[in-house]
């Protein structure tokens, strides 16, 4: 039986090099720039739309919480860098995103969206969110269709759970785990103690 090879959690994140806009300037960004940090790849369909600015702004407003746990964010769409620049130069009240705390990447040739398997038939990126760990491996992926935005708080929760599990290889994080909550020890006797406590 032939099995199609799709990108999965646990895989090495596909590398990229692309032009981004940050602080009103163009710059090149590469996946390798972020080794040693966690990276939130935030794909979205298009600039100057409806749901997209709500997500882009919400992640920017919580940027310090990501930085506090050694994480960076890259927003990615199939728009050009010039479109990104115009969007960031327009204030929020007028449909823009204003000054953002993180870069917006131009995927005009759609190679990033293709390599992360989120390009839809219309040539737009779906709302794909990937958490790449500090060694460059995908630890979490979430894909929404175009009409539904993502939760910044849930992204932060999942990121912290990943970091906890990686720092404590004998523990796993149960449903709705939050920092400070009990985790489950990965042996039968200890796990029974956890389940008795809930």
pLDDT of residue 6: 83
Active site positions, annotated: 52
pLDDT of residue 191: 67
pTM metric for this prediction:
0.94
Tell me the DSSP string of 123-187: S-B-EEEEEE-TTSBEEEEEEE-TT----HHHHHHHHHHHHHHHH-TTEE--TT--TTS--EESS
pLDDT of residue 101: 98
Q: Domains in the chain, ordered, with CATH? A: 17-150 (3.40.30.10)
Interval 155-170 mean pLDDT: 97
64-112 confidence digits (pLDDT tens):
999 999 999 999 999 999 999 999 999 999 889 999 999 999 999 999 9
């Amino acid at each position: 039986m032939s099995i199609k090879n799709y990108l999965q959690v646990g895989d090495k994140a596909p590398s990229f090099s692309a032009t981004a806009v940050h602080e009103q300037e163009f710059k090149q960004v590469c996946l390798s720039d972020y080794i040693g940090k966690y990276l939130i790849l935030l794909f979205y369909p298009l600039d100057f739309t409806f749901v997209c600015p709500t997500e882009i702004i919400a992640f920017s407003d919580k940027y310090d919480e990501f930085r506090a746990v050694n994480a960076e964010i890259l927003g990615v769409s199939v728009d050009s860098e010039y479109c990104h620049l115009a969007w960031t130069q327009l204030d929020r009240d007028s449909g823009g995103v204003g000054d953002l705390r993180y870069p917006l990447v131009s995927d005009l040739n759609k190679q990033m969206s293709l390599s992360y398997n989120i390009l839809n038939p219309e040539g737009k990126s779906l709302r794909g969110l990937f958490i790449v760990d500090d060694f460059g491996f995908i630890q979490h992926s979430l894909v929404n269709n175009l009409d539904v935005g993502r939760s910044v708080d849930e992204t932060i929760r999942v990121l912290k759970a990943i970091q906890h599990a990686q720092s404590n290889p004998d523990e796993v994080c149960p449903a709705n785990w939050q920092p400070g909550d009990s985790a489950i020890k990965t042996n039968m006797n200890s796990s029974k103690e956890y389940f008795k406590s809930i």
